[in-house]
């Protein structure tokens, strides 16, 4: 059993923390001219500077000791070898196989999974090119230029984030839309903006029974049939599923059903057929480049020693804050408008993976696990929650992400953007003492009385951590690297916390209860017992809707 009190490395870290906790990063930089170089790593076109974190050599050595004690190196190899590391569901975890560009065999239950993966990738290539080149046409013979992805969770967040991130690579005549929310507005807003004759719907549901996805798909089907007739369905709908029977019942040609597998979880699935809309939007070659970028990070994660392993280092720094400083949150701030949906995607990746309180051996944890993640696009969020980051009572470690080269080099916009992200990291680390604030006001000609009144308000505690990730340019390859980096970071933390990062039972209870409540709202069932609040709300809403 793993617990924070019964491991040598954890106890060592608690001892290190006691004498290190009040150390100021200002002092660490002042005493070590090579600090930035020492705590930075480069992998191809990605540069990671983690020097603005509350760490030193002793801290990092102790963290690497924890990783080794928890068997991180062995657990990495377990994933890549196809072992069933998803213990609660008895499944292998092989999103890494989806981007295995070396095509080396990867076995599950003694069977190499690469042939079926390559077959599906070839099918994605063939179909996406047919749509882009106008060889797969709609029912009336028009080219399909409106591509609508209908999914939820991993079948939506991943492809939505990636498609928006790669918008500069879209075909000029293609428009992409996403429907995920069961709220009818999600459907209505898309359907009001597209033409049935030129629309292709991609229905993404492994079982083809997901209530949100199927409800939205049926609404879109009715809209299409009302406009073009029943026979149009097979020309305007394709499925990403494993349930051939239900797909055929819906009216979709089974030849246009794309397979994926139980060894790929939803939040890790955009590399599979779930990424079909990405391939259509940006072209299969660019989709393939995204896979290659992810594979480059996979190979780095699998082969680099812990001391030079980017995902492992980021994971350990997160452990340091979460479990020793009791900082249970972090922010991801991409300074790139195309990456504006990355934080929402990473919320699912991190919080659904590691939001667990039971260990792999069935014990309740006695330590914090997955943190709360939030974020948004800089510089917008500088004017929303950065006040708290700089002067609030809560410490929030930040990952800043910035491409050195913009897709839109307009005037000096990008220079200002870069200046802002670098300034934010410096300001969080340096802060401003009361004496520095007083001197600044003195130089501005403020009176002594005013200086004394305002110096506390204008001071910043500093010593607030951040990591800066510099990309050469946001392209398909770099996006693949970036996303895979966070996937492996999350897995490493799950290993250290001894939890299963690959199930998500926590999302199921609310869905089951919703199925009990729905008939009551529709007036087809009565007498189901709820707490008094839920019963009162059901009755109140029924009265309003009458």
Helix (H), strand (E), coil (C) string for 249-278:
HHCCCHHHEECCCCCCCHHHCCCCHHHHHH
Which has the closest alpha carbon to 79: 528, 544, 494, 538? Answer: 494
- Edge-to-edge strand list for the sheet holding 372-375: 40-43, 46-49, 466-473, 398-405, 329-334, 372-375
- First CA to last CA across the chain, in angstroms? 56
SS3 call for 203: strand
SS3 call for 456: coil
In this structure, the strands spanning 199-204 and 237-240 are: parallel
Active-site entry in 164, 197, 288, 352: 352
Active-site entry in 5, 19, 172, 383: 383
Instruction: Give how far Cα 367 sits from Cα of 89, 251, 313, 323, 394, Å.
Output: 24, 50, 20, 7, 20
Which has the closest alpha carbon to 44: 484, 522, 542? Answer: 484
3-state helix, strand, coil in the chain (%, to 5): 55, 10, 35
CA dihedral 59, 64, 65, 68 (to 10 degrees): 170
Active-site entry in 413, 511, 540, 542: 511
Residue in the structure block whose two tokens are 């991801």:
332
Q: Is 511 a catalytic residue?
A: yes
In this structure, the strands spanning 372-375 and 46-49 are: unpaired
In this structure, the strands spanning 111-112 and 107-108 are: antiparallel
Q: How far apart are CA 395 and CA 398, in angstroms?
A: 10
In this structure, the strands spanning 257-258 and 107-108 are: unpaired
Active site residues: 352, 383, 511
């Amino acid at each position: 059993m793993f617990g924070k009190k019964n491991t040598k490395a954890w106890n060592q870290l608690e001892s290190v923390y006691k004498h290190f906790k009040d150390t100021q990063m200002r002092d660490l930089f002042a005493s070590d001219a090579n600090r930035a170089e020492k705590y930075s790593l480069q992998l191809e076109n990605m540069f990671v500077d983690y020097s603005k974190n509350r760490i030193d050599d002793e801290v990092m050595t102790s963290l690497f000791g924890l990783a080794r004690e928890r068997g991180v190196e062995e657990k990495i190899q377990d994933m890549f070898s196809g072992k069933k590391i998803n213990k609660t569901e008895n499944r292998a975890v092989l999103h890494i196989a989806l981007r295995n560009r070396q095509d080396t065999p990867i076995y599950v239950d003694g069977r190499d999974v690469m042939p079926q993966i390559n077959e599906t990738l070839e099918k994605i290539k063939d179909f996406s090119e047919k749509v882009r080149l106008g060889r797969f046409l709609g029912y009336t013979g028009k080219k399909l230029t409106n591509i609508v992805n209908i999914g939820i969770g991993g079948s939506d967040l991943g492809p939505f984030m990636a498609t928006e991130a790669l918008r500069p690579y879209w075909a000029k005549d293609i428009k992409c839309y996403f429907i995920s929310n069961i709220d009818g507005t999600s459907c209505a807003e898309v359907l009001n903006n597209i033409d049935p004759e030129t629309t292709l719907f991609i229905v993404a549901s492994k079982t083809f029974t997901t209530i949100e996805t199927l409800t939205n798909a049926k609404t879109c089907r009715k809209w299409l049939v009302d406009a073009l007739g029943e026979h149009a369905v097979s020309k305007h709908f394709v499925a990403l599923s494993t349930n051939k029977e239900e797909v055929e019942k819906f009216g979709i040609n089974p030849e246009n059903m794309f397979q994926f597998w139980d060894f790929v979880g939803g939040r890790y699935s955009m590399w599979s057929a779930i990424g079909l809309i990405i391939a259509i939007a940006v072209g299969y070659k660019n989709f393939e480049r995204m896979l290659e970028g992810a594979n480059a990070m996979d190979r780095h994660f699998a082969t680099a020693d812990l001391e030079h392993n980017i995902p492992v280092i980021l994971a350990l720094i997160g452990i340091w804050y979460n479990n020793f400083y009791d900082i249970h949150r972090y922010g991801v701030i991409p300074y790139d408008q195309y990456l504006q949906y990355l934080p929402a995607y990473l919320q699912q990746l991190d919080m659904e993976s590691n939001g667990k309180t039971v260990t792999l051996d069935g014990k309740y944890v006695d330590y914090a696990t997955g943190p709360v993640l939030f974020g948004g696009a800089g510089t917008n969020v500088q004017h929303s929650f950065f006040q708290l980051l700089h002067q609030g009572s809560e410490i929030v470690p930040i990952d800043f992400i910035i491409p050195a080269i913009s897709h839109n080099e307009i005037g000096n916009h990008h220079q200002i953007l870069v200046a802002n992200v670098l300034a934010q990291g410096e300001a969080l680390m340096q802060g401003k003492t009361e004496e520095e604030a007083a001197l600044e006001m003195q130089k501005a000609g403020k009176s002594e009385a005013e200086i004394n009144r305002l110096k506390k308000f204008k001071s910043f505690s500093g010593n607030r951590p951040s990591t800066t990730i510099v990309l050469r340019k946001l392209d398909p390859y770099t996006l693949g690297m970036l996303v895979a980096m966070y996937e492996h970071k999350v897995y490493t933390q799950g290993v250290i916390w001894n939890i299963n990062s690959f199930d998500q039972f926590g999302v199921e209870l609310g869905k089951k209860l919703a199925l009990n409540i729905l008939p009551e709202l529709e007036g087809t069932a009565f007498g189901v017992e709820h707490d008094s609040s839920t019963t009162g709300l059901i009755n109140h809403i029924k009265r309003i809707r009458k």
